[in-house]
Amino acid sequence: MAGKFDHTVLIVDDEKQVGSSLGRLIKSIGAKYVYMESGQAALERMEKTSRPYSLILSDQRMPGMEGSVFLSKAKKIAPDTIRYLITGYADINAVTNAVNKGSIHRYIAKPWDNKVLAETVKSGLEQHKLIMENHRLFALAKEQNTKLYTLNKELQKSAVVHRKAIIRRDKQIAQLQDRLEKGFENRNYINEMEILLKEKQMLEENKINSLYTAIIAELYEQFQDIATRNGFDIPGDIQGA
């Protein structure tokens, strides 16, 4: 819940004395008030106000516009404002109809008890505070959801880019591996050695055959040693062959 809420109550009554009395009661509970003498003047004031009043206290019997009619119009201008109608017993039917239509939140019967009215107004101010806090939290949640949605989209785009890069690298690695394997399969290392030795003039032409014989002899001895350790015999005439 946010900190202390700055409440302002709109008092609408054609009798200035009654308006002043209600104003003193409003100030006693720590809220501010604005007094208007008619419903029409109050509607015009509401249209010009930058923020909604926390609560409206309106008399029912006023010249030009009854309180129930005024509150019905006030609801369209500021639906979050709590609306109380002050009325006598003779107007109870009109008040009941206004309550059923949702134009007013409750009515206050004349004559009222100041202590009871003060507690009733406090309850209405707290109700308005909760309404406004719910709006604030809803707006905050909507803002956070929008940010999370945007972040999620950006992460998805980034993931797609990384997946494409990984697939591209894997393809390149596979192509390189395939080229290496094919290269090893198709290479003739004996010929390459022979060409290298000739180019570097490390061996003369007539000594290359002797090199091959020496290599084969060395391999034969290694194979014979392996065979002996494993219980096999290699015929002696293979070397001579």
| pLDDT tens digit sequence for 84-111 | 999 876 566 767 777 767 678 888 888 8
What residues does each domain of the chain span? 8-126, 188-240
Tell me, which fold does domain 8-126 have in CATH? Rossmann fold (3.40.50)
Query: To which residue do tokens 């507690």 refer?
Result: 119
Give the pair of three-digit tokens for residue 187.
Answer: 């290479």
Sign of the CA dihedral running 140, 142, 143, 145: positive
Q: Stretch 174-190: mean pLDDT, rounded? A: 64
HSE-up of residue 49 (Cα within 13 Å, Cβ side): 18
Q: How many CB atoms lie within 10 A of CB 127?
A: 15
Q: What is the pLDDT of residue 89?
A: 62
Q: How many CB atoms lie within 10 A of CB 73?
A: 15
- What percentage of the chain's residues is helix, strand, coil (to nearest 5)? 65, 10, 25
Q: What is the pLDDT of residue 88?
A: 77
Contacts of 45 (CB under 8 A, 6+ apart): 10, 34, 36
Q: What is the C-alpha to C-alpha distance for residues 97 and 143, in angstroms, rounded to an integer?
A: 40
Contacts of 136 (CB under 8 A, 6+ apart): 2
Q: What is the C-alpha to C-alpha distance for residues 151 and 20, in angstroms, rounded to an integer?
A: 55
Span 36-77, pLDDT tens digits: 999 999 999 999 988 899 999 999 989 999 998 999 999 999
Confidence of residue 34 (pLDDT cuts 50, 70, 90): very high
Q: What is the pLDDT of residue 2?
A: 41
Span 113-165, pLDDT tens digits: 999 999 999 999 999 999 888 888 888 887 777 877 777 777 777 777 778 77
Complete DSSP assignment for 18-60:
HHHHHHHHHHHTT-EEEEESSHHHHHHHHHH-SS--SEEEEES
**Mean pLDDT for the chain overall:** 80
Question: In 78-113, which residue ranges form alpha helices assigned H by DSSP?
Answer: 92-101
Q: What is the C-alpha to C-alpha distance for residues 160 and 222, in angstroms, rounded to an integer?
A: 56
Residues in the chain: 241
Quick one: which H or E segment has residue 111? Answer: none
Q: Which of 33, 35, 22 is nearest to 118 (CA)?
A: 22
